[in-house]
C-alpha cells in the first residue's frame, strides 16, 4: 500500500447538494424550499414571529434588574495580599493600589477600582490607596500598623465631560 492509494471508505464522505440545477437533479425549480413566499426567499428574518400573535418571548414575565449606576469593584481579600507579600510578588514598602494589585494578578476587572475585604490572616504593615475597604479589613490593616486611604473614583462619563471642559451637572442643566 502506498500513500497515494489511501482513500476513504465508500460512503464516508458525502458531496454537497447543488440545489436549483434542473428537474433532473431532484432539487430543481423551488430547490427544496416548497412554494412561494417569504420563507422561499434568501435572508429570511422571522425567527420568533408568530403571525401577528404576541410572540412567546414577549408573553413570558420578565424578572430581575440591571443596576446601571452600580460600581464595579475588583474585590481582593487581605489573606491573598498577605500571601503575595510573603511570596515577594508585592513590595511591602510601596503603596498598594489598583495598579500594583493588577500587576500581581489578583485584581481582575474592576473598572471602578479595588475594594479590599477582610477575609484571611493579615500581619503586614502596608499602606493602601484603594477605592473601597470593608470595616473588618480597615480594622485588620490598622491593627497591623498599616494605613488606608480611600480614593474617589471618577466614572468614565464624568472624565469625558471634564476633558471637554464641562461638568456632568452643567451638561444635565444644558439639556433641560
Domain boundaries, the chain: 74-150
Q: For the chain, 176 residues long, give each residue's pLDDT as a single digit of tens.
A: 899 999 999 999 999 999 999 999 899 999 988 888 888 888 777 788 888 899 999 999 999 998 888 888 999 999 999 999 988 888 888 888 888 898 898 988 888 889 999 998 988 888 999 999 999 999 999 999 989 999 887 766 677 777 777 665 666 677 76
pTM of the complete model: 0.54
CATH architecture of 74-150: Ribosomal Protein L15; Chain: K; domain 2 (3.100)
For 128, the grid coordinates are: 493602601
Amino acid at each position: 500500500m502506498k500513500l497515494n492509494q489511501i482513500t476513504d471508505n465508500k460512503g464516508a464522505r458525502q458531496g454537497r447538494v447543488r440545489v436549483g440545477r434542473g428537474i433532473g437533479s431532484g432539487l430543481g425549480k423551488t430547490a427544496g424550499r416548497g412554494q412561494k413566499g417569504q420563507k422561499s426567499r434568501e435572508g429570511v428574518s422571522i425567527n420568533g414571529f408568530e403571525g401577528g400573535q404576541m410572540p412567546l418571548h414577549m408573553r413570558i414575565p420578565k424578572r430581575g434588574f440591571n443596576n446601571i449606576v452600580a460600581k464595579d469593584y475588583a474585590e481582593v481579600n487581605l489573606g491573598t495580599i498577605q500571601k503575595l507579600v510573603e511570596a515577594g510578588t508585592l513590595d511591602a514598602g510601596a503603596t498598594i493600589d489598583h495598579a500594583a494589585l493588577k500587576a500581581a494578578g489578583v485584581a481582575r476587572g474592576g473598572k471602578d477600582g479595588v475594594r479590599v475585604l477582610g477575609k484571611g490572616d493579615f500581619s503586614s504593615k502596608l499602606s493602601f490607596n484603594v477605592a473601597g475597604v470593608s470595616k473588618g479589613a480597615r480594622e485588620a490593616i490598622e491593627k497591623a500598623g498599616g494605613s488606608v486611604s480611600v480614593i474617589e473614583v471618577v466614572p468614565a462619563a464624568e472624565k469625558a465631560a471634564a476633558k471637554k471642559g464641562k461638568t456632568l451637572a452643567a451638561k444635565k442643566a444644558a439639556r433641560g
